[in-house]
Amino acid sequence: MRHDLTSSRATERLSADAAGIARAAELLRQGKLVALPTETVYGLAADATSGAAVAGIYAAKERPSFNPLISHLPDLVAARRQGLFDANALALAKAFWPGPLTLVVPAASSCEVSELARAGLPSVALRVPSLPLAHAVLEAAGRPIAAPSANRSGRISATSAAHVLADLDGRIDAVLDGGPTEVGLESTIVACLDGAPRLLRPGGIPRSTIEGVIGRSLVIAGEAGMAPISPGLLASHYAPAAQVRLNADAPQPGEGWLGFGPQPHDVPHSLNLSPAGDLVEAASNLFGHLRRLDVLGLPSIAVATIPEHGLGEAINDRLRRAAAPR
């Protein structure tokens, strides 16, 4: 299977029904690229066992190829053929799968995930998504499916089929339209490699909920002098074209405004993540609101302060990356 980067291809629009599921799985088995909804964000899916198919993901996203990908499976049994689960990994999988958690574990000797999808690492990132549509495609495809977020590298993650097409129309073989995603933030990534579970990326499951299951604090990767072990966590990521100004009290003249909670600001280019101050609602609106403000072409978007607890940790992580110097 060869993906020619320079030639464009027609992107099939698939609907969320039996025919759409069957076609998505058929394309994946042929080594093609299919954008699929999950409960977190849309993923750009390909056969994880095929180096050529995975190379197509990196090419379509223009993603640096040192960045390893998450492989998606229909259930824990299938995941355990790919990776070695210690007691912590097993407890976390049983508590949160299917759902917005990714586990980075040592690759099993029976691991079929290609070297390219693992970026040559001895570990593998595994996730069992909960969205029934995603589960159905994974069952029908019958192999691990690699899927990073379905956006061009460094851009805002896609939470609807329209977002996917805005970035990738003509560069991928199909998009399966399952409507807007529920969580709106990528999965939480936890590495269980050496007995001390580490938080590699905050995400759809709050850290405190995970700590409740393992009965200890998660070490944060990169803290306390540890080398970061998730090479994909580039500082500038999720970047809109506009500059992003965080922890703002109010917009300056000409700035867009992304609010949170009740607010007095009556500004022209203003969206609110959650007028009620609900972090779950804010997470689900984050990427869509950023895209809607960004297409207005304003030089800067000012963002209200978001509390750091619960899903706020992951929301602030994405906002800091959006605001990082490029």
Span from 17-25, 37-45, 81-89, 249-257 in contact with ligand TXA (CB under 6 A): 37-45
Q: In what order do the strands lie in the sheet with 198-201?
A: 12-15, 174-177, 34-37, 42-47, 145-146, 70-72, 123-127, 101-106, 188-191, 198-201, 219-220
* Residue 69 found at the interface with ligand TXA (CB under 6 A): yes
The H or E element containing residue 288 is: helix 279-294
| Nearer of residues 20 and 256 to ligand TXA, judged by Cβ | 20
* Residue 38 found at the interface with Mg ion (CB under 5 A): no
* Residue 149 found at the interface with Mg ion (CB under 5 A): yes
Question: Which listed residue (24, 125, 161, 303) binds ligand TXA by CB under 6 A?
Answer: 125
Question: Which listed residue (102, 181, 284, 285) binds ligand TXA by CB under 6 A?
Answer: 102
Residue type, 31: G
Q: How far apart are CA 197 and CA 214, in angstroms?
A: 9
For residue 274, the partner it binds in ligand TXA, Mg ion, none, with Cβ less than 5 to 8 A by kind, is none
**Footprint on residues 44-63 left by ligand TXA (CB under 6 A):** none
Q: How far is CA 57 from CA 10, 64, 214, 312, in A?
A: 16, 11, 34, 30
* Residue 50 found at the interface with Mg ion (CB under 5 A): no
* 168 three-class SS: helix
For the packed helices 132-141 and 18-29, what is the interaxial angle rounded to 10 degrees?
A: 40
285 phi and psi angles, rounded to 5 deg: -95, -15
Size of the site for Mg ion (CB under 5 A): 1
Question: Which listed residue (79, 104, 133, 136) binds ligand TXA by CB under 6 A?
Answer: 104
Which spans of this chain sit near Mg ion (rule: CB under 5 A)? 149
Which spans of this chain sit near ligand TXA (rule: CB under 6 A)? 38, 40-41, 43, 67-70, 102, 104, 118, 121, 123-125, 127, 147-149, 186-187, 189, 200-201, 229-233
